[in-house]
Amino acid sequence: MALTARIRTRDGWAVSHAVVTVTDMTGTQILRTEADTDGKVEDGTALAPGPYTVIVTAVGYAPAAATALVTASGRADVGQVVLGRQAGGLGREAGAELPPPGPWTIDPAHSSVGAVAQHLGISSVHGRFTDFGGRVEIAQDVEKSRVEAVIRTASIDTGNGMRDDHLRSPDFLDAERYPEITYRSTGLTPAGADRWTVRGELGMHGVVRPVDLTLTYLGTGPDPWGGTRAAFRATTELRREDFAMDYNQVLQAGIAAIGTTLRVELDVQTVQGEMLPQP
């Protein structure tokens, strides 16, 4: 194939049927093609060697541009082109770094709170909390925006009832004594065009410690119920011992059965305003 590319959203999903336009350095259109349902572009049109501009558009997304260099073989791999959601009609320009100011309510039905721990030193165990809520307050001065969230510890779910009961026990979360995990932000610092560092305090297992989240803003758009939604992805790493969860079983080889570090992965969808989200 002469031209290949992969069109993705900021959180890695394929953008199907995106339109790809190729122009030469004078701005003359040389090629116009379309991505397939998997967001792949594979076009066999012969192109003369040299540099080209690749412009990608899709309904509901802000346009993106990339440079392609066609080699002597007549081929060019643009690689992955990432499209951000278009914020038209929401009071800010497309590509805005955060959604419009005001309160936003976390929608638990369309969000996830997950954690990954190493198991036996060779694989991973994935868990999630199913009962949580919170709100985001976007300020006019975005660095003064705030996040508050509460997670019910008893809602831990790893897909194994015996393991979940152990995680709720005093060896780990001690859900009866500490029924909630809380997070309150203390600051927000830009870390890129659509990335932020959220500084805050995490309360878990009777311990409160500063924890930073690496936040990516995924975009804003309308929902089927007449509301407006904004999506975010956030990650961090926690050490269990920082929250007084020191239990571990060590195998004969000296390897911990459960890793001491947790990778936390949050996919959050918020609804504009202070309201109950739709199912």
Q: Catalogue the E-assigned strands of 29-75.
A: 29-34, 40-43, 50-57, 64-70
Report domain extents, the chain.
3-83, 102-272
- What pLDDT score was predicted for residue 94? 39
Q: Report which DSSP code applies to 85.
A: B
- What pLDDT score was predicted for residue 271? 93
Q: Report which DSSP code applies to 90.
A: T
pLDDT, tens digit (0-9, with 9 covering 90-100), for 106-138: 999 999 999 998 755 556 788 999 999 999 999
* Encoded tokens for 255: 């390897």
- What pLDDT score was predicted for residue 254? 45
Pairing of strands 76-83, 3-9: parallel
Assess whether pLDDT exceeds 90 at residue 262. no
- What pLDDT score was predicted for residue 259? 64
Burial of 113 (0-12, 13-18, 19+ CB in 10 A): buried
Pairing of strands 29-34, 19-23: antiparallel
CA distance from start to end of the chain:
44
Residue closest to 65 by CA, chosen among 95, 96, 99:
95
- What pLDDT score was predicted for residue 249? 52
CA gap 140, 221 in Å, rounded: 19
- Residues 6 or more apart from 112 whose CB is under 8 A from it? 128, 265, 266, 267
pLDDT, tens digit (0-9, with 9 covering 90-100), for 167-221: 999 988 999 999 999 999 999 998 876 789 999 999 999 999 999 999 988 888 8
Q: Other CB atoms closer than 10 Å to residue 117's CB: what's the count?
A: 19
CA gap 112, 79 in Å, rounded: 29
Give the CATH superfamily of 3-83.
Immunoglobulins (2.60.40.10)
pTM: 0.69
Assess whether pLDDT exceeds 80 at residue 87. no
Cα 31 from chain centroid (whole Å): 33
- What pLDDT score was predicted for residue 223? 80
Burial of 89 (0-12, 13-18, 19+ CB in 10 A): exposed
CA gap 13, 201 in Å, rounded: 31
- What pLDDT score was predicted for residue 276? 55
- Residues 6 or more apart from 228 whose CB is under 8 A from it? 90, 99, 100, 220, 221, 222, 271, 272
Give the CATH superfamily of 102-272.
Lipid/polyisoprenoid-binding, YceI-like (2.40.128.110)
Burial of 213 (0-12, 13-18, 19+ CB in 10 A): buried
What average pLDDT does range 58-75 have in this prediction?
A: 85
Q: What residue type is assigned to position 88 of the chain?
A: G
* Encoded tokens for 69: 């260099």
CA gap 279, 128 in Å, rounded: 19
